[in-house]
Structure 1
Amino acid sequence: MLWPLVSLLAVGLVTLAAGWVVDQALQRAAARHPDAPLWPLLRRCRAPLQLVLLATLLLALRPVEHLLDLTDDRVRHALLLVLIAALGWLTVRGLAAVLGAVLGRYETVTEDASRIRRVHTQLGLLRRVLDALVWVVTLASMLLTFTAMRTIGASLLASAGIIGIVAGIAAQSTLGNFFAGLQIAFSDTVRIGDTVVVDGQQGTVEEITLSYLVLQLWDHRRLVVPVSYFVGKPFENWTRRDPGLLAWVLLHVDHTTAVDELREEFRRGLSLSPGWDGREWYLQVVDTTPSTLVVRAAATAATPDDAAELRFAIRERLVAHLRDRHPAALPRIRTGDGPPDDGP
């Protein structure tokens, strides 16, 4: 009885010591190579690695069976299931570390924000596909350790074709979203961080999965949209090529408005605005109505958020200028009779 207990304690100590040694080695590697993001990410593999080592040692030494005086294979089978699950967990953590390191390395060598967002989207979806594949293989491996599953394997393979057809028909929508997610990832139509407009709702792409896409709206609500929407319907992507945008407002003013003076006031306001990127601006009369002139003031901004703030600032400054300096230039509704007609 004493020897199995000592063996069990030794297995636990070896597992803890191995995890500590690996963690210390990764810390030293991260200190020697501070620009390499792989080593800090690999530290997340410590727990599944310890579980793999623990299950392997318990299977090899069998201290639990001797300690509990068990002669059947139930404990051994349970440890085998734990080992397979731990290997799957370790593989998922390792893939996450490698893909995260690839993205981190790409961010350090590339300054193009649109390309970084594209790679971020592609690697995120690739990680989800690989994770799903790993867990499916892990679960299948665990099921195959049962004798009953091995004996009915032939019949399962014989009926796999029919089951696959039935499952495909039943899961058309799910499969459509799955392939739509892959198409979005590698066709570069929409990426994490893009500003898009869907059914009149403007938002920033916050998350892309294999079945849905999450938009963060201006009021911090989340709009969840199936990824198939972005394959089968038109939508606006304001930042696909260049995150810069044109912020513009329309004003209705009286026909007597001094447009040149209003344009100069607009230019002065832009020079004081942090949202304007200095590239382009204009103020033009774009239309007339029987009672007003329609003036459009526009200026460029670096990001969609800056464009929104600049649009609000433009409207507020121009309206305040007309109200304080030229109140007669504001549109008026004439309800009385005009002067008598002196013509013949």
Structure 2
Amino acid sequence: MLKPNETKMFHEAGESADAIARQLVANDAIVAALVDKLKAAPPRFIVTCARGSSDHAATFGKYVFETQVGLMTASASPSISSIYHAKQQLDGALYIAISQSGGSPDLVRAASGAREAGAHVVALVNVEDSPLARVADTVVPLRAGPELSVAATKSYLCALSALVHIAARWNGDEALYAALQDTPDAMRATWAMNWSPLVDGLVGAHDLFVVGRGLGLGAAQEAALKLKETCGLHAEAFSSAEVKHGPMALVGRDFPVLFLTQQDESIAGIREVADEFAARGAKVWVTSSDSAQSHRLPVAAAPHPVCAPLIAVQGFYKAANALSIARGHNPDVPPHLNKVTRTV
């Protein structure tokens, strides 16, 4: 039986902070050149295109661009191009395609179609000579380095940092860029913190909700996917606003709910829902840097709310890896899955 610190997932996720620190230095000239183009010809709107963990990064990107740049951001369905062959009106759009491998045919086809339709296509990819990179106008490398575990970890976190990097430079927000530079240290500190209460509490679980809001919603989606993928645990992600509709009917005694938070306008509402669920007897965990927070999973304080999801997911990945082993799985080789998903 593997030990938690022997998996590829453990070592690759643990490299995330160093990968982001290298990425920020290596990509700054690329991002500056992209921003010059965007300022010279301002896009009318932003479209993202991705699948899996990369699509969860795109959800995060939506909130980053809409809150920091003020530009409407929507998610494209690759199937519109790949199976329906429909033409889209994308003239004047910024089209951001996100992929670890850059090899999925439907993403490549969608990005190529977007470029033909007049969009400026930006590829956020870990494989810089991939088919997706070749059809893009601008390539922003993720620079995560080799990722051998099927479960994407550092490439996801590098995608988040690349999105924040673009937004900070585009908006001219030096405080946000400085906070992003400080984020790897907060990630390293969180990696060393104890999330064993979450691991112990989910060893025998069958179902779970992961809850976030705004900037944290994509992180909740990513956490839910990783729990399915690596732990064989049925987990669903919800906004703290949406979970109070139909899904909350399932939350009773001992039902587990993980809340991923950031210190912004969303925090009061998330804590209210967490307290309500805890009062029903649910098993509740809340990420927080505040030692007085009830049901706390510790994270280092985020230098900016936009950076909080990177820090929380860093802690989560370590816990998910340990939980996978505790539940008798190998997180590096989930059943029925491959590293590159070639959707057409």
Both proteins in one fold, TM over 0.5: no
Larger radius of gyration: 1
**Which TM-score applies when normalising by structure 1?**
0.25
How does the TM-score come out when normalised to structure 2? Answer: 0.25
